[in-house]
Amino acid sequence: MIELNHVSKTFQVGKKKIEALKDVSLTIRKGEIFGVIGFSGAGKSTLIRCINLLERPTSGHVIVDDKDILKLSKRDLLKLRRKIGMIFQGYNLLETASVYENIAIPLKLEGVAKDEIERRTEKYLDIVGLTDRRDAYPSQLSGGQKQRVAIARALAHEPEVLLSDEATSALDPNTTESILELLLKINAELGITIFLITHELNVIQRVCDRVAVMEKGQIVEQGSVVDIFARPKEAMTQQFIRNESRLSIPESIRRDLLKSGRLVNLTFLGESAKDPFLATVAKKFDVLPSIIAGGIDQLKDQSIGNLLVHLKGDRSETEAAIQYLKQQEILVEEADY
């Protein structure tokens, strides 16, 4: 549905050239939720803005529904932008207009008929759960409610795609969760394709079908969320996952445990959890495994388990046990650092 082919974007700041995007290619499929994750400055905002040409690529192609949108006339580009809604971290609401008016005014400017404006505004206020706040002003709303208004405003144009630029970054964890649930509902019930950028791993985990990891203007890894989380290949991806979801223990306990064996971080998909791999390790090798810490991350359609395991035994037996674990459907990282 949306294809970026070899897209590059260079900003000229004085004499300096900043390469914000370097040869980025990706495909967003109809009906999916695609996320891009990266640290600040990776190029995510520039990338998302290239999809509706708020930013024009320096080179490459942006294809939407088989059309190269860089070649569209101004009029056709305006038409296309209506198919692509956008929400932002800062909501961008009109402070002097009510919730209802924030949704209705842009429709009026677009020339939508009065009764259609009423129908759509009421429909999307209901979908985002704000019917009872229709007369409130933005200053009377919480951050999560403001983002709901912004989502209703975007949906009221009945887009096929919703672009989300760090939409939950300013929200607390509970509010983030409720907005993510709303995005899942919009995707499932209205069939809207969602492309989002974020620096938060949990956003990707919770809602995305596929993910691309960005670093210094390039995509370093992309694939299904399950694959990337269970088997991250690139150092950057591993760093993201380790930063946020790896288990850690106090240094003194770690040092103690290492005196009598090895420590390993095991990551496995829901279905692999059914295999009694730790019992097998205890049986097969002269090793006593014990679980030091554990957790489960919920992905959109699956769960991923993390265990920090101590393998008690001598070097050769624990090494053989680690090699055995690596042959299973488990990501094994030695945590002896």
The residue ranges that bind ligand ATP (CB under 6 A) are 11, 13, 18, 20, 38, 40-46
The least CB distance from residue 176 to ligand ATP, in Å, is 16
101, with CB counted inside 10 A (0-12, 13-18, 19+), is middle
Reported in sequence order, the residue ranges of 32-81 that DSSP labels E, i.e. its strands, are: 33-37, 59-64, 67-68
SS3 category, 331: strand
Please report, for the chain, how many H helices and E strands are present, in that order: 12, 14
The least CB distance from residue 16 to ligand ATP, in Å, is 9
Nearer to ligand ATP (CB atom), residue 40 or residue 73: 40
Q: Which of 5, 18, 26, 1 is nearest to 213 (CA)?
A: 26
Nearer to ligand ATP (CB atom), residue 55 or residue 101: 55
* ∠ Cα 176 216 180 (to 5°): 15
The least CB distance from residue 18 to ligand ATP, in Å, is 5
What is the widest separation between alpha-carbon atoms in the chain? 78
Q: Which of 211, 230, 237 is nearest to 271 (CA)?
A: 230
The least CB distance from residue 169 to ligand ATP, in Å, is 8
Q: How far apart are CA 25 and CA 217, in angstroms?
A: 11
The least CB distance from residue 15 to ligand ATP, in Å, is 13
Give the β-pairing of 210-215 and 33-37: parallel
Nearer to ligand ATP (CB atom), residue 54 or residue 97: 54
The answer to whether 183 touches 148, Cβ cutoff 8 Å, is no
Nearer to ligand ATP (CB atom), residue 195 or residue 285: 195
Nearer to ligand ATP (CB atom), residue 208 or residue 263: 208
Q: Please report where in the chains the tokens 């690529």 appear, as a residue.
A: 57
The least CB distance from residue 13 to ligand ATP, in Å, is 5
The least CB distance from residue 38 to ligand ATP, in Å, is 5
Tokens of 127: 């979908």
SS3 category, 22: strand
Nearer to ligand ATP (CB atom), residue 43 or residue 289: 43
Residue 15: count other Cβ atoms within 10 Å of its Cβ. 5
Nearer to ligand ATP (CB atom), residue 13 or residue 109: 13
